[in-house]
Amino acid sequence: MDARGPLLTRLARAAIAREFDQAAERPAVPDWLGQPGAVFVTLTQHGQLRGCIGSLEARRPLLDDLEANARAAAFGDPRFPPLQVEELPHTRVEVSILSRPEPMSFADEADAIAQLRPGVDGVILEWHRQRGTFLPQVWDQLPDPAQFMRHLKQKAGLPADFWADDLHLARYTVEKFKESP
């Protein structure tokens, strides 16, 4: 078992709890948490999404990114009201450490879709100022690559059938760690 998982989820939970002034001290942390890292923190309640915020590129130490995104997922995800203290015991924390995004090369939309690896790839879609991403975990709900791409375009604020020659795609993988229920 990877010892990083319990530590990462505990640190994310503690960052949220500190916002409620709960006695959640930061434990001693290993040096690797000081290295640059990009993290998404996903919160669920009873198997349903309750918040998800993250970074696509490593721009600060992993610990700082983890704590900031844990707080943002709990209190700043615009899809949900801020987490309330009474919800915390029923909220499960998942931490995804992202690999460096790799730009994709493709001839057209069909070629791009054919290159996607369901269950493996997280995908970043960018067109001008529109941008959206799906973590690899989204393949669990959208296993068909064409459907995955349609929903990703909508998440980026584009029509599901949109395509442009200057659309950019990048893919990444994650190491995922989830709290036990």
Among 81, 98, 115, the domain-final residue is: 98
**Is residue 1's pLDDT more than 60?**
no
The answer to the question of residue 180 being in a domain is no
17 and 33 within one domain:
yes
Q: What are 54-101's pLDDT values in tens digits?
A: 999 999 999 999 999 999 999 999 999 999 999 999 999 999 999 999
Whole-structure pTM value = 0.90
Angle between helices 4-19 and 62-75 (to 10 degrees): 50
* Total residue length of the chain: 181
Q: Range of 42's domain?
A: 4-98
Helix (H, G, I), strand (E, B) or coil at 71: helix
106 and 92 within one domain:
no
Triad 79, 175, 12: Cα angle to 5°: 55
Q: What are 31-45's pLDDT values in tens digits?
A: 999 999 999 999 999
What is the model's pLDDT at position 24?
65
